[in-house]
Amino acid sequence: MKIDPLITVVVTTARMGAGALACAADDRTPPRVVSSTQQGDQQITEEVKGTLLADEAASAVSTQDGVVTLKGVALTNDDLTRALFDARSVAGLVQVKNEMSLNG
């Protein structure tokens, strides 16, 4: 009787999978759950930070539910405006909150 190699692979994988599940059940560390909103917020924050590398005005960037908050001190009104403009260029955000101050 000839055994199909695919069946052998499926059966072997199923047996290994059951063992892996048993090992995972013994792990006492709960998995970290990150919601799609948190992932989106993290991605938006990273993209905004990337666009603001040249803008020294925004020293802190955070995102909550797609709303980006910029904090920091701008030396000129142009610096502040540029930071806001650059942050708004990132796709996926809902709003940009300006909590930067002007020191000039």
The reported pLDDT for the residue numbered 58 is 83
- Predicted confidence (pLDDT) per residue in 26-57, tens digit: 445 444 444 557 778 899 999 998 888 877 77
3-class secondary-structure state, position 58: strand
**Are 90 and 47 within 8 A, CB to CB?**
yes
Domain range 36-102, CATH class: alpha beta
pTM for this prediction: 0.60
Q: Among residues of the chain, what percentage have pLDDT more than 70? A: 62
- Residue 30 to residue 20: CA distance in whole angstroms: 16
- Residue 15 to residue 44: CA distance in whole angstroms: 41
- Residue 41 to residue 92: CA distance in whole angstroms: 9
